[in-house]
Amino acid sequence: MSANQFLTVICQLLFAALTITTLVSYIRERGVIRRDIALMFSSLGIPIVVVALLQSINAPEAAVTFISLFSLLAAPYLLLRLSRHLQPVPQSVLRAALIFVVAAWIAEMLSVIFVPALSSAVGLTVILYFIVVNAYTMRIFLRGMSRSSGIARQRIYLAAAGSGLLALAFIIALMTLFIPALSNLLIGIAYIILVASPVAYFLGFTPPRWLRAMWQLHELRSFLLSMTSKPMYERLSVSTGIDELCHTAIRAIGGIASAVIREQGIERNVAAQIGLDTGQLDSALKAPDGIIERTFLKGTPLSVCAADNISVSDRMLLASVSAEMMHTSPIMTAEGVWGVTIVFLHSGVLFPEDDLALLNLLTQQSAVFLENSLLVDELRVHSGEMESRVDARTRELRESREEYRRIVETAQEGIWLTDASFKTTFVNKKMAEMLATTIEDMLSTPPEDYLDGDWLGIVEQLKTRRRAGQGEQYESKLRRRDGGVLWALTSATPLKDDDGKLVGSLTMVADITKLKEAEERLLQLNAELEERVASRTADLITLNREMEAFSYSVSHDLRAPLRGIDGFSQALLEDHADQLDEDGRHLLNRVRAAAQRMATLIDDLLNLSRISRSEMKWENIDLAELAHSIIDDLRQSDPTRDIEIAVAPEMCVSGDERLIRIALENLLRNAWKFTRNTKAPRIEVTPMLEYGADVYAVHDNGAGFDMAYADKLFGAFQRLHSMSEYEGTGIGLATVQRIIHRHGGRIWAEGAVNEGATFYFTLQVPQPERSGTADDHDFTR
Amino acid sequence: MTTILLVEDNPDDEALTMRAFKKSHLANDVIVARDGVEALDYVFGTGAYEGRDIADKPHLILLDLKLPRLDGMDVLKRIRSDERVNLIPVVVLTSSREQEDMVRSYALGANSYIRKPVDFNQFVQAVQQLGLYWLVLNESPF
């Protein structure tokens, strides 16, 4: 078998294979385009198969030529029909082609049977026809190619190549007629080209799976490259992803418009669109029998062609964009159909299944992107929120820091922070000013260096207490850097971490230097005052001594002459009675009485001063017992009196018994005396609970007194009665008052003329440390 | 004959005391010393009483406290600190009613403390009782 024969066989086998493949494809999937493809290849493949079959059964040559020629002649016409899907072919051209097929066939048959001489002329015409039609379809394919893109473009390109190669093969075959010398070579070349043509057709019209996959990968790669070439923030955003999907879909499958419809809840809206007017899609979004609704429901890619039997809404949708075809693909995410990609295509799509597959591939790839983008968007929203929250918080912190800084800096107190090892970590300006130094100096100096030398002893105690977690307020003396003194009132607080461990101390320092200086001045003044008091006291003591000496002298020296007056008057009365008449004796008795009265006065005065000077001896006394004892004495000294006495039982008080006795004796003696002219005299000694817990009273129903003079009762030498009525020196009540006062008590009286008198007194609780000195002030009054 | 030493600087008091003695019929030998020094001179046989036998002790000393030169307390102290004369009864006869004087007198060994009343009748009474007690009733240690 020669090379030419081999190539012929290859060529025949290829065309046969193409025929079978396209037929199978049409039978499987139907569709106008597939039918036309199958027909075209059948016209080329059938003659080969039939000729082979007929030759094998040795059928007559004429029959073989008849069938194969007719079939072969139909091929260019069928090719034209097929090219219609890419570009409208004028009806006249088709008709002319059909007439030529029939005419050529009849001419060929006649020439073969009747005029074999014409055979070569007819053959030449047929070859020319083939060349013209193939060239024409090649042009249509090339045009269609320019309009399409992606895999379809590749396939149309191959189809064009197939047609072109076929035309070329015929041209070369034709050339053998003119250059017979090269006929062998040219026929060889023609055969090679003829083999290449079905290969191109094969790859274009029925590309094998690996080739499709390669093309798809290529498209996908370019899509991915375009996506990944964008900056990360743009790439990973939903809107960018959707836009890119629209663009890529148009580019990859040669659409005229595209859109991405997104479903959010029950809402569906157009998320991105290219080549569409706003609102153009809206009515079709939810049409129940529309392609979009169906895609959402099924979740599979769909394709609709105007040539097919389609729903009204789909037809309207196609018409609205002047498209012949539309593809949809669901965008599937983990949660289901996230959205739908729709691409509209112009007429002239030869391989819609490729477009759909590619669209689906791109869409699903986008879905991955979109899903990521959604997450990123979500993240972005979250991080945006976080960022704004962090911003707000940072601002708040800054503001609050600023506020604290202002407080700390404008504070009128020093603020001093130390760490756990008592090293200064912070001081405010005020603190540095107080110590007449700088903040830097303070930060580099141990705190105790500022303490006055005499105060260093407290440092360890302070540290120990701080470590024990105790805060405290204390005064301390600090040394200013300019040599001055800073008296500080310091409030120290230990600072602890969450575990209660000491991390430092906060110390607030107030400058109390002025206060302290004032205090010192005050102390000095006090000392001076005390000195003066001491000197005054000493003066008083001296005075008191002089007074004592005076009293002593009075007691001795004033009484002596009185004794002389009395004694010698008596001697005169005794020794010279005969020389005196009654009147003289009376006068001498008056002299004696006056002297004795003077003596009583002196005694009373001495008593009064002694009461003020004597040391107090506190003990428990029963006033009742004391009163009874005094009254017994009175009764003894004046047994003629018949007085009703009422002394309440047990009136326990605390006081100096001797003095209390003197006071009570004076009061009772007065009562005794002033009831002298009273019928049924009565004296009572009783506690007066209605006046208070410690109020006692001595009551009589005697002469009484006029309340108008009540304030004069207790004055020394004050008397409310004449001597002739009731004798007395007028010192008794002054003495009583002084005694009561020495006991820290009070005395007052109530009475009315001829209706008796009541003396009330209180005795205060004992004060054991009471010394006589304080009472000496009384003495000078 | 019992001897009484009256130590008294005031002539009025001396006269009245002597009168009281007389009225009380204490016809004793009364020696009057006008101050503390004189009193001690008598007791110890010194000064104006140089050569006096101190064994001849007065039976009673009536001692005023307020005296020129040496006061009554000093006199008492000296008498009580000399064992030759320390047993002589000494009665303090004074105008003072000061607690302190009384306490000190007894502390220094006075046998009695009597305050001279202003009322002469009372004074006489006091001297009477004094004489009766110390010179008649009391058993002298010598």
Could you report the per-residue pLDDT of A133-189, keeping only the tens digit for each?
888 888 888 887 777 767 777 878 888 888 888 888 888 888 887 887 887 788 888
Q: Which chain A residues in 603-642 lie under 8 Å from chain B, judged by CB atoms?
A: 603, 606, 610, 614
Percentage of chain B exceeding pLDDT 70: 98
Check CB contact of A577 with chain B, cutoff 8 Å. no
Whole-number average pLDDT of chain A: 82
Report the pLDDT value the prediction gives residue A189, as an integer from 0 to 100.
Answer: 83
CB atoms within 10 A of CB A74: 23
Average pLDDT over residues A699-723: 81
Q: CA triplet A270, A274, A275: central angle to 5 degrees?
A: 115
**pLDDT confidence of residue A724:** 67
Q: How far apart are CA A695 and CA A651, in angstroms?
A: 10
Residue B18: pLDDT over 60: yes
The predicted structure's pLDDT at residue A281 = 79
Report the residue of A548, A556, A658 to disrupt the B interface, i.e. the one with the largest count of B CBs within 10 Å.
A556
pLDDT band at A349 (very low <50, low <70, confident <90, very high): low
Backbone angles phi, psi at A287, to 5 degrees: -60, 125
Q: Is A550's pLDDT higher than 90?
A: no
Does B96 contact chain A (CB < 8 Å)? Answer: yes
Q: How confident is the model at residue A699 (pLDDT cuts 50, 70, 90)?
A: very high
* Alpha-carbon distance values, A635 to A115, A393, A632, A644 (Å): 203, 101, 5, 11
A345 DSSP β-pair partners = A255, A325
Q: Who has greater pLDDT, A430 or A374?
A: A430
Per-residue pLDDT, averaged over B10-22, amounts to: 87
- For residue B2, count CB atoms less than 10 angstroms from its CB and return exposed for 0-12, middle for 13-18, buried for 19 or more: middle
Min CA distance, B20 vs chain A (Å)? 9
**Average pLDDT for residues A209-227, to the nearest whole number?**
77
| Mean pLDDT on B73-99 | 88
Q: Which residues contact B117 (CB under 8 A, 6 or more apart)?
A: A563, A599, B123, B126
Above 90 in pLDDT, residue B91?
Answer: yes
Q: Mean of the pLDDT values across residues A443-466?
A: 87
Cβ–Cβ below 8 Å for B13 and A557: no
Q: Taking residues A609-614, report their average pLDDT.
A: 76
Give the DSSP letter string of A332-383.
EETTEEEEEEEEEE-S--S-HHHHHHHHHHHHHHHHHHHHHHHHHHHHHHHH
Q: What is the CB neighbour count within 10 angstroms for residue A522?
A: 11
Residues of B in contact with A559 (CB under 8 A): 95, 116, 118
- Candidates B8, B95, B116, B124, partner chain A, best to mutate (most A CBs within 10 A): B95
Rounded to an integer, the average pLDDT of B94-107 is 85
The model's confidence at residue A767, banded by pLDDT at 50, 70 and 90, is very low
Which one has a higher pLDDT value, A747 or A256? A747
Nearest to A156 by CA among A116, A213, A122, A207: A207
Whether A700 has a pLDDT exceeding 50, the answer reads yes
Which residues of chain A neighbour B119 with C-beta distances below 8 Å? 566, 592, 596, 599
Q: What is the pLDDT of residues A374-425, one digit of tens each?
A: 777 777 788 888 888 888 888 888 988 888 888 887 888 899 999 988 899 9
C-alpha to C-alpha distance for A685 and A688, rounded to whole angstroms: 10
On whether any CB of chain B is under 8 Å from the CB of A596, the answer is yes
Q: Which two tokens stand for residue A621?
A: 């006394």
What pLDDT score does A761 carry?
A: 92
Neighbours of A346 (CB within 10 A): 18
Looking at the complex, report in whole angstroms how far the Cα of residue A714 sits from the nearest Cα belonging to chain B.
25
What pLDDT is stored for residue A776 in this prediction? 39
Question: In this predicted structure, what is the pLDDT of residue A236?
Answer: 61
Q: Write the pLDDT tens digit of every residue in A54-63.
A: 777 776 666 6
Closest chain A residue to B9 measured between Cα atoms?
A: A560
Q: Which residue would you say has higher pLDDT here, B93 or A105?
A: B93
* Residue A772: pLDDT band with limits 50, 70, 90: very low
What is the reported pLDDT for B79? 93
> If residue A627 lies in a helix (H) or strand (E), which one and from where to where?
helix A623-637
Contact between B118 and A563 using a beta-carbon 8 Å cutoff:
yes
Would you state the pLDDT for residue A115? 67
Q: Cβ of A354 under 8 Å from any chain B Cβ?
A: no
In this structure, chain A runs to a length of 781
